[in-house]
Chain A
């Protein structure tokens, strides 16, 4: 019996890791195809049908590339940094539930739960593992002993830690609404209404913060090719570079899964409580839609200037996130004291007002700056 539990853990972990690896490979293909379509190109279509073998060709190419270590690099840290970046991007997915607990899924007489770990501090786990990813990047930038890498690492770190606060506050609104940090409880709390309906601004704040957290366009300053060549992984080549690339795309998949879980109802969908194996399918659909959103954003918006990026994080997102936390708390309290859930509608109404105020403030600040910059100094 004991070895069966170990086997289940290993097989489930293996499946999750393989899902993320294959997902990473095909996400690169998906992104290139989608971007190409948006820019009226065709995209990779030579290797295999629809270019479906392109990721394999890329992987083989990267395996046969030379691994360079700069002479002045700090060798051990230089070797460890890609691993430290890549490992959190897989293990963060451990607490995401892929299907409901009831009814149970039976396989060979054993109950298989559709998650790797069900810990009662799920959200805390997500936040702490997300913070570890910063270490890999700052160590990569520092250990390369190169100016571009150093600057990229610094910028990346400053940006990630700035938006982490906003991310944490967006998580707090979810915890307030669900009354629990356990991921399964959070999903089950959305059975009547998804949290994106109750707290639309919270979801928007979450999605923006997540874009900055995974260094995606329009917040991809650390990798700004035109000024920093490649940022923190400028000195990396071959499979070590592939690990950074892998970490970035796996993080995209994982944050989409997290966003789907905490705001878009996770595995919930029609009939999921009769056939629990529908759960992973609903999850996958939601993840793919959210990923397309990320790619669409990259195709649409230009890169944000670094000072504006930081100012946006500290002066707009942080107060807005704080405001919606208190609006959510107030709405829940109102519904609880007056004993009628209809008062929960205060939350979306007041948060949208707060969001509109934030947008107007940003607009005004930008317009004023534009007028000023045209005047001679």
Chain B
């Protein structure tokens, strides 16, 4: 049996580990830097416990127990080489460090991209070497929607996604007209709607838009022996106490139950070991990790998968001598190839979503804090689509609107303290503008890929383990700023149309609708509370993106000229080193990222299991040919799913 090492236990790592272990050909060692807050993983039943709670102090006011420590493991930031070595040190978009990764704190939106989103560059008239949008590296994806669709479907079933599309006779009826075709319905129907999602949705419907319940990887009913959600209201930022959030842990559970996987937590991988083999190609031979006491251990492996986030995977590659950890800044607008990274693009094209938030406070108590964080989305502002036939390059590409949102009173109190004090503050708390009467839109705006937005190694700073920290160089492109400005008034118009005579909620009306700046400063080391910034009314604008949607750095491409990984996540110079995760994204369509991370991770795992890939370059026909063998993996390893039956 071959030995595989998967670095990271989030959505991507757990998915790859599950497939490798289920295949029977691999023994998988999963290495996770963070703690394991679960009990019973890999045990005989689905009675998995955890240490999470509805605790607004520990999880939202203090630095939460799953947060990467900004003093012990800082990152640095600057807008680009012209700004000096760095302009900020601390928490720069770090994802949770724990078994389960980003699927612990997320609010579990599980969205597919659309057909047009994989081919927008060519629809706009661009080519691989001449992007349609100037100043960007805009590109088509190596795979298209028709390739990824079965993997979206299988992951929706494995994870457990609730959503509105259902089967009627032989057809799938989908109330969301902005989505592309699907071959299967959702695993579960939508759960209870939230009033602060319904109100703007109803207003949007009257204005001619088509909002719909949002596909969410939270159980709306007991599913595969896992509990249903009770709409406790402590969702985004919190671990789920009853495990109704479908996250990486269920795939880990599956993997461990094969008896061919082992999970080690609190081990920090500090180097990928590799050697040069025949034909000048490289092989990963294992990894070296450090335990909390500082001792290092080397584990040998036949296969290494880096699934520790786009930024950390780039950093780990760089400290292992793969790619350019210290690129030439004078030539940062060009690729800088090396033996280990013939693309010269490892770490480049880093993307985040540009989030635009519009809030409304309504006159009545709408129980904003009850239920899942947002139960509906409106996809009208993602850009024209869903198929090439409907595409219109003149429509700006923004993002979906998440509808809902809530604040608990501790956070609310800090916000209210910006304008009220003492008895007056308390009166406002009793009115509850943010915990009782709030609704919001958050637009997950598409972010243009730029070669000058990148991760490298900070030249000076190391973390508590002595390893150089990642440095993020990033600034927004005018395209996404313009799209945000274009859609903001349309968002405000919907909020202003909430309730009133003639609506389904005649007694409700909007008192105030505002666009707010959500680019808040990360908590500084030595300042444990983000709320402090509100108290001081000193919310300094900075250009560090607030979104935890991290993409790019490992773009999957048909040839090394266009990205550091092949269509199946393999590093071009290596036979057996892969990235799985958001790093593979070529662009950043305006949807939540996790389901696409899952689908791509399934592709990576299926390619390894079935032996697809390994070429020095691919044509589109090669990708089509590989698809058949990838689908065999679904039939073989997930034969109990609707999609496997549909593929037969």
Q: Do A and B come from one complex?
A: no
A residues touching B (Cβ–Cβ < 8 Å)? Answer: none
B residues touching A (Cβ–Cβ < 8 Å)? Answer: none
